[in-house]
Amino acid sequence: MPSTSFKAPRGDTRTCPTWRSEAILRLLYNNLENAERPEDLVVYGGTGRAARSHEDLERITSALETLRDDETLVVQSGRAVATFPTHENAPRVLIANANLVPRWSTWETFNELEKQGLTMYGQMTAGSWCYIGTQGIIQGTYETMAALARQHYDGTLEGRTVLTGGLGGMGGAQPLAVEIAGGACLAVEVDEARADKRIQRGYCQEKTHSLEEAVAIVEDAAEHGEPTSVALIANCATALPRLRKEGFEPDIVTDQTSAHDALNGYIPADVPPEEAQTLREDDPEKYLEASYASMADHCEAMVGFQDDGSIVFDYGNNLRGQAQQAGYERAFAYPGFVNAYIRPMFCRGRGPFRWVALTGDEEDLWATDDVVTSMFPEDETLNRWIEAAQERVPFEGLPARVCWLGFGQRDRFAKKINRMVADGDIGPVAITRDHLDSGSVASPYRETEGMKDGSDAIADWPLLNALLNASAGADLIALHNGGGVGIGLSTHAGMIVVADGTQEAEKRIENAFITDPGMGVARHADAGYKEAQRIAEDTDAFSWWGTRQDR
C-alpha cells in the first residue's frame, strides 16, 4: 500500500556516499513529510508531485543512496532514468518536469500524457524537492504585503482589512503574513479541513461559517489596530459577491485558490469539497464548465471591489486568465502582484533565499537566524520577518528558514553558512529558493507580466539561468513548465546548493549565488530597468554592460 506518512532522515549518519547526495535525499523526503496528500505524492497546488509514482520514488531513493560525487542522476518528470559519470563540480541531480513542445503545451495534452504515466506536474518547489512547508510562501506573501504597505499605507497594514481566498499549501500562508504586516485578514476557504489545519499550526486565528461574523471580526480588529485573521468557510464564487452586496469594504483584495488548475485545483460553487473528486472522475467536462463559470463570478466580484475603491491584485494563480477564458471581459482590470509590488526588488536581484538544517537540529537554525540579522541590520523588512518567524512560524519537517536577499547578499550569507559548517558550529545545510525569483522564470501572468520592453513571454532567461547555475556548480537543477499558473503559461528553474563545510562547496556557493541572482539583474537590465542597469554598471560581473548604454 502507498505510504501516507513520510519523514525526512535526521542526524549525522548518512545513507548516501556524500552529504551532497544525502542532502538531496533528505529534501525529497522533507517535501513528502510536508505534503498535502502524501498517499498520492502530492505536495501542494492541486497535483504538484514530488515523484511520478511510489515505485518511481523508490527508484529515485535507491539511485541517491549510491550516487557518488562524480555522477549525475537524471530525473524526467518524477522518474529516475539514468545515472551518468560527470565530474565533482557538476550537479548531482538534473530534473525536468512537465516540459512539452510549445504547440502541445496545454492542460488537455498534459492530462492525456499524465494518464498514460508519461509525465507529472511538478508545480514549482514540489517537483524540485525544495518545499519547506507553508513558511516558504508566508515569507514571500509577507514581502508582498510589506511592499504594498510601503507603497500605499506608510509601511504598515495596521488598521487595514484584507479579503482573500484559499488556505491550501500556498494560500494558507496569507492570514499570518497579513498579521505580521499588521493587518486583519478575512480568508474564504471552501474546504474546512484546510482551514482547521492552518488554525492548528497557528497560521490563522479562528474560523466561522457566518459571513456576518467574519466581517465583524476583521472590522473590529482593524478599528482597534489589532492584527488578526479569520477563515470563512464558504466558496469564493458565492461569498465574494455576497460580501460586496452586503457592503463589506475591504482595503485590499487578492486570491490564492488553486485557480491555475480548473479541474484538479479549483472547487466550483455548489460542489461540496467531499464530492469534488467524484465529479472530476465521473464527468470532467461538467466539472470544468462549472469551475470556469465560478471563476468568472469570483473574478468579477474582485473587479467590483476595485470599482468600489479597494486595492485589488492578482496573486499569480491565473484566476484572471481562467475568468477571461470563461468569457468575463474585464478579467485583467486589476494588476498582478509582481508588476504592482515586487518588480523593483527583482531588479536588484532580490528574492527568496531558503536554507534547511539537514541534521534536524533546530539550534542550527537559531544560529543562522542570528547571523543573517547581524549581517544585514539595515534591512528592516528582513529583521521584522526573522523576529516574527521565530515567534510564530513552527518548523514543518526539517528546520528551515527563508528570507529575501539580493545580489551581493546571497553569496555572502551562503559562504558564511558554509564556514559555520566547517567550524563545527552547525551541521550541513542545504541552500535553495523558490522559483518565484528574479531571473529564473518567464510567466506573463505573474513574474514577467508587463515587462518594460514587452518581453513577458521570452523564456530564454529561465533556461539560461538553469544552464548557468549548472555551470557554476549548483548541486541540483530543475526546469519546469506551468508552475503557479498552469501548463503552458510559464517556464521556470529551481536550484539547490549544499553547504557541507568543504572548500569545494565554498567555491560552488560563491559561483552559484552570484550567477543565480545575477541572471535576474541581467534580465531586468536588458529590459530597460534603470535600477538593474545601475547595479550592472557598478559590478565587475557585468563589465560588458558599459557597451549597452543605448538600452
Contact yes or no for 114/120 (Cβ under 8 A): yes
C-alpha span between 87 and 89 (Å, rounded):
6
Contact yes or no for 162/251 (Cβ under 8 A): yes
Question: 6: which DSSP letter?
Answer: -
Give 496's strand partners.
432, 476
Give the residue ranges of DSSP H helices in 263-361: 273-282, 284-308, 319-325, 337, 343-347
Which residue shows C-alpha cell 498514460?
A: 116
Letter string b/e over residues 264-300, b meaning 16 or more CB atoms within 10 A of that residue's CB = bbbbbbebeeeebeebbeeeeeebbebbbbbbbbbbb
Task: Specify the 3-state DSSP secondary structure of 236.
Answer: helix
C-alpha span between 12 and 290 (Å, rounded):
52
Let me know the angle formed at the C-alpha of 318 by 43 and 303, rounded to the nearest 5 degrees: 130
C-alpha span between 355 and 383 (Å, rounded):
16
Question: 419: which DSSP letter?
Answer: H
Catalytic residue among 130, 204, 236, 403: 403
C-alpha span between 376 and 357 (Å, rounded):
21
Q: What are phi and psi of 226, to 5 degrees?
A: -105, 125
Please give, one letter per residue, the 3-state secondary structure of 247-266.
Answer: CCCCCEECCCCCCCCCCCCC
C-alpha span between 359 and 354 (Å, rounded):
16
Instruction: Pull the grid cell for residue 387.
Output: 523576529
**Can you state the angle between helices 273-282 and 284-308, rounded to 10 degrees?**
130
Secondary structure element (H or E) that encloses residue 411, with its range: helix 410-422
CA 498 remoteness from chain centre? 20
Instruction: Pull the grid cell for residue 272.
Output: 461540496
Q: 77 CB contacts (<8 Å, ≥6 apart)? A: 52, 96, 97, 98, 118, 119, 120, 122, 127
**Can you state the angle between helices 380-392 and 362-375, rounded to 10 degrees?**
160
C-alpha span between 535 and 308 (Å, rounded):
40
Which residue shows C-alpha cell 523593483?
A: 344
> Is residue 403 flagged as an active site residue?
yes
For residue 415, count CB atoms less than 10 angstroms from its CB and return exposed for 0-12, middle for 13-18, buried for 19 or more: middle
Task: Please compute Rg for the chain using Cα positions.
Answer: 22
Give the residue ranges of DSSP H helices in 67-202: 107-115, 135-152, 174-180, 192-200
Residues annotated as part of the active site: 403
